[in-house]
Amino acid sequence: MDHLIDTKQPGEDDGSEVSDWEVEDGIPQFKDQFIQQYLHGRRALIQEEKKQRHDANFLKCMSPSAREACRIISHVRDRELKTVWTKDAEENIAKAEDTVLYPGMMFRLARDRMEGTDLWKIVKKMPKGALLHGHLEAMVNLDVLVDQVMSLPGMHIASDRPLTTGGNLKYSPLHFQYFSKPQNLRGVEKPGSDTISIWNSAYKPLSFIPVKEAADQFPEGGVKGFHDWLKGRCTIEKEVSLSHHHGCAAIWDILDQKFQVVDAMLYYEPIFRACLKHMLAELNEDGVRYVEFRLAFGFEYRRDRCEEPDPTFDSIFEAFEEEIENFKASEAGQGFHGARMIWTTMRSHTNRDIVESMKECIMTKLQFPELICGFDLVGREDDGRTLVDMIPVLFWFKKQCAVEGVEIPFMFHAGECLGDGDETDSNLYDAILLGTRRIGHAFSLYKHPLLIDLVKEKKIMVECCPISNEVLRFTSSIMSHPLPALLSRGVAVSLCNDDPAMLGHGKNGLTHDFCQVLNGLENVGLSGLATMAENSLRWSCFEDQKNADWLADIKRGITGSGQKAERIRNWNVEFEKFCQWVILEFGSDAPDEGEEEGEDETE
């Protein structure tokens, strides 16, 4: 693995005998001096290349406990590659699933098996720093969301067509709203009769029906069937996530449908608060101590027991702030640093709509200065406008921020595409030139050697979302992901989960993405994961900073004197305790150093 160098040379002490034919034909032997010289040069070349890797500095500073934990986790991984992720492992299960097992296989095929491994237990326990790229509405626990909608008094459901066919059930947009009195009952003798059922062809489009009524009448299993159906409307199905031959555009259309349904349910104050509270608890329990959510403000938000939407977004930020502070003060929130918001708008919008959103962003920042920490444009890059097309409004935004005296840095999505030199791929150039502090995804960055150098020089970090990139069909699995190309060049990266609820994680947090990377990429190891976790804190916006102060804090890292340095130090204390736990829990199962075949030693 990346922190280990193989010291056992080919042919060394392997007990093999030299064949007579090799001697007769004059085949050189490994013990021959010139072969040994070749192997020595080979090893030196490997070591020299590893000095350029992203975790080279972290390796130099590791404690003895961390080095031992690295060795133990390497052993656990190697063992599970042979016992869990091979076609011979539990062959009956593999046949039942009609799946060929291998490390780093497609996430939806690997997820359940992954969650039963020792490596999962280890990574679950690991302190993961910060989550810097996650879309809030796509992170909610869907069971909590649906349960809230089904249980809260006054909740109603509507559709733009009767939900009478499989296609309508699966794809029709849904609408949810609170009403103080049951709707659509005038002139109907028996509330709940088929004449007003959303499941009946006589249903009048966009008529609101009490959710409890609709659930009772659900034609495929009543209340439980309704719960499962509604939850399914928010999740990309396993079969769809595996159908890569349909291409990226098709999966994005499906993702947009999922967002529509979640958005329709989430932005009613009691539901929003309940989901946010549960989300923060899930993240903290998974070792995530700080979050920067992205949220596109194109929805209507209603306060508790209010039928009319709020004219501004003040009330959602009030709820956001209160729930964060309440969670930090709770027992479940011990150690949690907090959360902020990256304001986003859709990149497909017109200049007028984008400018209006920017104005709202600045006004909200003035009222809630601690909550807004950045600005981004979201939506499928290939379908939306390019950054260069929006240069005038982006410059206007920076000027307005200066006029109002607020610091709202760019945190652009860019390079989330398969293109090579096309308009979408070229968003990377503009993101860098416009001064983005981080780049979301940067999937195509590995194709640009000059931009890689610029990203390193300008201290720009990549927010990498490997499972999202797979499910959205940019890569078939972690094995073919460009992440290793960035890590080997020393690019700063943090791992993120993007849209875990919709993508089929089943759990919030970062353990799935961490495990996929660890399982699939030989060169990462614990030191690689730890470096990316520490990066997430170094590039976090804990507080507003001018660009010079921001860069200075990143360069100083743990040696600084501010809030960021303190939280990096806290993470290092957590990481050391974690390494000691790994040694206690799994050290007895690993051979003593020097006993394993092909023993490795640290650089």
- 496: Cβ contacts below 8 Å, ≥ 6 apart: 131, 132, 133, 134, 463, 464, 465, 510, 513
Which distant-in-sequence residues (6+ apart) come within 8 Å of 572 by Cβ?
534, 558
Strand pairing class (461-464; 493-495): parallel
Cβ(541)–Cβ(529) below 8 Å: no
Tell me which DSSP letter residue 131 carries. E
Taking the domains of the chain in order of start, what are their residue ranges? Answer: 123-140+251-565, 153-233
Per the structure block, which two tokens stand in for 109? 């095929």
Angle, helices 563-586 vs 118-125, to 10°: value is 150
Residues of the chain under the 70 pLDDT cut: 1-17, 89-98, 184-195, 594-603
Q: What is the pLDDT of residue 3?
A: 45
The DSSP string of 230-266 is: HHHTTS--HHHHH-GGG-HHHHHHHHHHHHHHHHHHH
Instruction: Tell me the whole-structure pTM to 2 decimals.
Output: 0.92
| Backbone phi, psi, residue 131, to 5° | -105, 115
463 with 494: CB under 8 angstroms?
A: yes
For position 96, what pLDDT does the model report? 47
The whole-angstrom separation of Cα 73 and Cα 53 is 20
Structure tokens at 298: 């194109």
- Alpha carbon distance 135, 279 (integer Å): 12
Q: Give φ, ψ of 378 to 5 degrees.
A: -125, 175
Query: Measured between alpha carbons, how far is 336 from 115 in angstroms, rounded to an integer?
Result: 25
Q: Which pairs with CB-CB distance under 8 Å and at least 24 residues apart come from 330-337?
A: 332/281, 332/284, 332/285, 333/280, 333/281, 333/284, 335/284, 335/289, 335/570, 335/574, 336/280, 336/283, 336/284, 336/289, 336/290, 337/130, 337/289, 337/290, 337/542, 337/567
**Given the DSSP bridges, would you call strands 493-495 and 600-602 parallel, antiparallel or unpaired?**
unpaired
Q: Who's near 533: CB < 8 A, 6+ residues apart? A: 126, 127, 128, 129, 494, 495, 571, 575
Q: Do the beta carbons of residue 415 and residue 464 sit within 8 Å?
A: no
Residue pair 109/242 in contact by the 8 Å Cβ criterion: yes
- 540 Cβ contact list (under 8 Å, min separation 6): 129, 130, 132, 290, 292, 564, 567
| pLDDT at position 598 | 44
Distance CA 270, CA 148 (A): 8
- Kindly state which CATH superfamily the domain 123-140+251-565 is placed in: Metal-dependent hydrolases (3.20.20.140)
pLDDT of residue 184: 64
State the Cα–Cα distance between residues 521 and 481, nearest whole angstrom: 10
H or E segment at 343?
strand 338-346
Residue 434, burial from CB neighbour count under 10 angstroms (0-12, 13-18, 19+) = middle
Q: Of all residues in the chain, what percent are helix, strand and coil, respectively (each to 5)?
A: 50, 10, 40
Torsion of Cα atoms, 105 then 111 then 113 then 115, to 10°: 130
Rounded distance between C-alpha atoms, residue 375 and residue 384, angstroms:
17
Q: Say how far apart CA 321 and CA 314 lie, in whole Å.
A: 11
Please report the pLDDT score of residue 353 as a whole number. Answer: 98
Q: Please name the helix (run of DSSP H) or strand (run of DSSP E) that holds residue 156, with its range, or none.
A: strand 155-159
- Given this model, what pLDDT does residue 194 score? 44
Position 15 scores a pLDDT of 46
Buried b (16+ CB within 10 A) or exposed e, 102-127: bbbbbbbbbbebbeebbbbebbbebb
- In Å, the largest CA–CA distance within the chain is 103
